[in-house]
Amino acid sequence: MVLHLGERPLVMGILNLTPDSFAETRSQLDPARAVAAALEMEAHGADLIDVGGESTRPGAEPLSARDELARVLPVFAGLVGRLRVPLSVDTYKADVALAALEAGASLVNDVSGLRYDPALARVVAERGAAVVLMHTRGRPKTMYSGAIYDDVVAEVGAELKASVAFAQEAGVAVERILVDPGIGFAKRAEHSYGVLARLSELAEALARPVVVGPSRKSFMRDALDARPAAERDWGTAAAVTAAVLAGAHIVRVHAVNEMVQVVKVAEEIRRHNVP
**Catalytic site positions:** 217, 252
Say which DSSP state 8 is in: S
- 76 touches 87 (CB < 8 A): yes
Could you tell me which of 101, 98, 6 has the C-alpha nearest to residue 47?
6
How far apart, in whole angstroms, are the C-alpha atoms of residue 70 and residue 65? 9
Could you tell me which of 3, 4, 8, 5 has the C-alpha nearest to residue 269?
8
How far apart, in whole angstroms, are the C-alpha atoms of residue 235 and residue 214? 9
Could you tell me which of 114, 194, 106 has the C-alpha nearest to residue 149?
194
How far apart, in whole angstroms, are the C-alpha atoms of residue 271 and residue 261? 16
How far apart, in whole angstroms, are the C-alpha atoms of residue 71 and residue 228? 26
Element (H, E) at 13: strand 10-16
Could you tell me which of 272, 220, 275, 264 has the C-alpha nearest to residue 44?
264
